Amino acid sequence: MPTAPARRRLVFLVGAHKTASSHLQQSLLDAAPALTARGVAILPPKLIRADLTPVSALVRDGISPEIGQGAGAAFLSLHGGTAPTVVLMDENILGSTDRKMLMRKTRLYPWAHHRLGRIITLFPGHEIEIGLAIRSPATFMPSCWSESLHHGPYEPFRRFTKGVDPLALRWSALAQRLHEAAPHARIIAWRYEDYPQVFPQVTTRLLGPDAGAQVTPVDRIMRPGLSAEAAHWLGQQEAPDKDTVLAARKRFPKTETTPGLDPWTAADHAAMAASYADDTAALATCPHVELVTPPVVSDA
């Protein structure tokens, strides 16, 4: 019988939220049998949240390091089998789409470095990589607002984003904090806007060439957000609740011809596009970050 390697490659696929993370997760899960045969174990969010997140909370509360590391070893043995590469998928490692966990004035995922650091401490001696997709605040903020209505009480978009400066939200700053929490980890990043073009490169980089070639993108949209029509209708309702939000989604579905909420002016879009471009350029220069970009198409 094969035995598990003493040192594995652990890839933490942490989202971010609303960056096609559910699409990538499902694509990997659909390919799981073929990936297992190639030494890659794919662990879905439900396993992370059931068996790993509670242990990381105990780390926060002062559990002995040896107990935490024993739990990490048991987790890998139980769910990773003998795979040399284990992919652990959960956006909630960073936080959630609850406003307090998502944004704080000028900071994305204000507690992400603490949350990641606690989980990393459970796996000493392993090679750690972090997969992180980023997205322009112009669409990230409305999409996260829409997602937040799945889980909490209704609040208007403007209240959800009150006090947050979208021009100051920097993915490069988040990557720096994650690096400080896991200084030996490599961060593999890509833009949501590039996702369809870089999908094969991302899977190859995360899994290796042979395993990456086994993954095909699922042919459906996962977790579509609110359409602009639905958002407008909700704003006209008196004290909307979760049932009202569900009714809005069904009554005014988001499609190619009925896009999501766009709360910004043309000037807002221009400013955020420039800020996002600058942020992406800064991310690409970070020595601990590998930014996956679309292949260059030759004119020849």
Q: Kindly give the interhelix angle for 65-75 and 53-60, rounded to the nearest 10 degrees.
A: 170
Residue 225 binned pLDDT confidence (cut-offs 50, 70, 90): confident
Residue 176 binned pLDDT confidence (cut-offs 50, 70, 90): very high
CA distances from 253 to 39, 260, 262, 299 (A): 40, 9, 15, 40
Q: Is residue 63 part of a domain?
A: yes
Q: Mean of the pLDDT values across residues 172-193?
A: 97
Q: pLDDT tens, 54-94? A: 999 999 999 999 999 999 999 999 999 999 999 999 999 99
**Same domain (yes/no): 184, 230:** no
**Same domain (yes/no): 147, 87:** yes
Among residues 90, 269, 285, 96, which one has the least CA distance to residue 172? Answer: 285
**Same domain (yes/no): 90, 215:** yes
Cα separation, 272 vs 276, whole angstroms: 6
Q: Is residue 300 part of a domain?
A: no
pLDDT at 67: 96
pLDDT at 3: 86
Q: Is residue 91 part of a domain?
A: yes
**Same domain (yes/no): 216, 67:** yes
Q: pLDDT tens, 244-272? A: 999 999 999 998 888 999 999 999 999 99
pLDDT of 239 > 70? The answer is yes
Residue 242 binned pLDDT confidence (cut-offs 50, 70, 90): confident
What pTM was computed for the model? 0.94
* 63: CATH: 3.40.50
Q: Mean of the pLDDT values across residues 279-286?
A: 98
Residue range of the domain that includes 99: 9-222
**Same domain (yes/no): 110, 21:** yes
Q: Is residue 28 part of a domain?
A: yes
Q: Among 157, 187, 222, where does a domain finish?
A: 222
**Same domain (yes/no): 128, 253:** no
pLDDT at 162: 96
Q: pLDDT tens, 91-121? A: 999 999 999 999 999 999 999 999 999 999 9
Q: Is residue 289 part of a domain?
A: no
Residue 1 binned pLDDT confidence (cut-offs 50, 70, 90): low
Amino acid of residue 276 = Y
Q: Is residue 275 part of a domain?
A: no
**Same domain (yes/no): 195, 138:** yes
Q: Kindly give the interhelix angle for 21-30 and 195-207, rounded to the nearest 10 degrees.
A: 50
pLDDT at 160: 95
**Same domain (yes/no): 150, 51:** yes
Number of domains in the chain: 2
pLDDT of 300 > 60? The answer is no
pLDDT at 152: 76
Q: Is residue 280 part of a domain?
A: no
Instruction: Evaluate whether 108 touches 161 at the Cβ level (below 8 Å).
Output: no
**Same domain (yes/no): 68, 174:** yes
User: What DSSP letter does each residue of 103-166 carry, written as one string?
Assistant: EETTEESTTHHHHHHHHHTTSTTSEEEEEEEE--HHHHHHHHHHHHTTTS----HHHHTTT--G
Mean pLDDT of the chain, nearest integer:
95
**Same domain (yes/no): 132, 255:** no
Burial class (CB in 10 A: 0-12, 13-18, 19+), 25: buried
**Same domain (yes/no): 138, 237:** no
Q: Mean of the pLDDT values across residues 221-242?
A: 90
**Same domain (yes/no): 18, 132:** yes
Residue 296 binned pLDDT confidence (cut-offs 50, 70, 90): confident
Find the Cα–Cα–Cα–Cα dihedral 190, 196, 202, 207, rounded to 10°.
Answer: 150
Q: Among 222, 256, 276, where does a domain finish?
A: 222
